[in-house]
Structure 1
Amino acid sequence: MSTGRTVFVLLILALLFPPMAFADLSAFRRDVEREESRNREAPRPQEERRADKPNHNENDNSFGNFLFQITVLAWAAHNGAVVYTGYPYALSSPGYRNFIGYDWNRWERTGDPMRRRSDETRRYWFELAGGGIASDDGSYGGFASLQGRFFPFLGPDADYRIYFDGETQLQLFTVGLDLALIQHDYFLWSIYGKGAFFRGELERNGAAFGTSLRSYIARPVSLVLRFGGISFDAIDFAQFEGRLNLHQDRWFLFGGGNLLQSSSTRLFTVETGIGLVF
């Protein structure tokens, strides 16, 4: 059996037969509530008063504004020229990369080998993924996510996770937008801001924010890393996610992990599943 087929079978087995050991999601809820109680009782530091800035800082502010404007213009030119193939590793033409190309003709340049061909590239993409999750404390569940681009610089970012321990369930749902900063096959860097919601064993509303890195290294592999946080009224979580994708046409199999960590409790899951780029 080939290596690719072996990996495929192992991932499918992981989805069909999640761990049957049951954890206690109520313990996670109690840890969260204890930390929230401590945070509410802790004295809040007083806001520091802003000192009046001396006049000699006006020149610094002008230079800073100039740099900011140049950065925004460079960002707009870069992301405004980005185009995508139909899905990762769809094209093998010498003038195209693994997934991301540049239509410099938009800026009236000619002769660029990365010029857009309307039948092979486009200015949007979406990725739908889903699978099973298993935590290190024995709980299990599933998740689904939608990511992509409405435009070359902006797109949806939503994911849903549900955890079971045999008696109770906990849901975590986040939805918002992802803003591209730099886009290249080897380094696609973006930031995101989302609403975040716990439901089930916990009922909380908050916000999620962070940064995302993607890398389309070489056929058929891509990597996804996400670093961020989820903030609720009286508790904050750090969130880290890593994923390895194996692409075959529009489809891909993946495996990875997700960590949700506060100062006193954590929830770590291993995740496997299947996805579609369209």
Structure 2
Amino acid sequence: MNKLELQKTANEIRKGIVTAVHSAKSGHPGGSLSAADLFTYLYFEELNVDPKEPDKADRDRFVLSKGHCAPGLYSTLAYRGFFPVEDLKTLRHVGSYLQGHPDKKHIPGVDMSSGSLGQGISAAVGMALSAKLSGDDYRVYTLLGDGEIQEGQVWEASMFAGARKLDNLVVIVDNNGLQIDGSVADVCSPYPIDKKFEAFNFHVINIDAHDFDQIAAAFNEAKETKGCPTAIIAHSVKGKGVSFMENQASWHGSAPNDEQYAVAMADLEKVGEALCQK
């Protein structure tokens, strides 16, 4: 995909996120929307994955460490062809395979059942180590929230990854600055995030999480980096694309009502129309 195609796809994925959470009347739209461009690039450009063969042995692995942002992953998997887009409307419904956190057993394309914060990165580190031990060339990617990195387990896993020089591992931090209780800087500041990862022997790249040129350059740089894992600190906007959700901690885990849903979809339709005129 070219840059414009990626932007259009990300906008459709954002519509899917808002539709799923509205239908569920619960869920986590803020962090799903902030990571939508990252999800888009990963699944439409970066990852070696195949919707027709979701469990192929040589596929790249992705772990959504911030598992509550499942609406973002689900919408991306649906638009990538892993399951029908219309199934997004069953999010969190009784009997649906699309529940509040990713489920490896029931959802095609999910590599790790996640949701307990801090644990996803540990699993990703284990996958990367496994590839090294077995001589496989697949790569492992994991997406963390900036509130999540307040968990000590994140740094234990990072210390291990740096010590083992896992250059097939890419840790992405969705740095939107907000968590459920407010600003991450006020709750329990993780800053400076880049310096912390550097201290654990990571190659660190800071990017604008909504600029596809910077996203592409970062992932290419990560591939070229040898002898250490890479951490991409992706500076993003919580609720990106929906006017009343942007930079509002209250939309960390709230669902829009019918009126709010209409406004959100109108916002995203305007973005789509603008992109079509380019």
- Give TM-score, length-normalised by structure 1: 0.23
Judging by fraction of residues, say which structure has more helix.
Answer: 2
Greater C-alpha radius of gyration: 1
Q: Which structure shows the higher strand fraction?
A: 1
> TM (normalized to structure 2)?
0.23
